[in-house]
Amino acid sequence: MAYKISDECISCGACASGCPVDAISEGDGKYVIDADTCIECGACADTCPVGAPSAD
């Protein structure tokens, strides 16, 4: 399963620049991960200051 970003996201954008496959984009009120593109590397979870991304 791809990673998902919870409502804890504060839209800082740090995860998007660190994603190796550009799967993360700014959405409505939070950032979102494209499930078909995500390779489950976990970098976004390691980068996020509020722990919003998680493996689902």
- With contact defined as beta carbons under 8 Å apart, do 44 and 33 qualify? yes
Minimum distance of ligand SF4 from residue 1's CB (angstroms): 10
Minimum distance of ligand SF4 from residue 44's CB (angstroms): 3
Coil, strand or helix at 12: coil
Minimum distance of ligand SF4 from residue 29's CB (angstroms): 10
Residues 1-56 that bind ligand SF4 (CB under 6 A): 3, 5, 9-15, 19-21, 23-24, 31, 33, 38-44, 47-48, 50, 52-53
Round to whole Å and give the CA distance between 16 and 31.
8
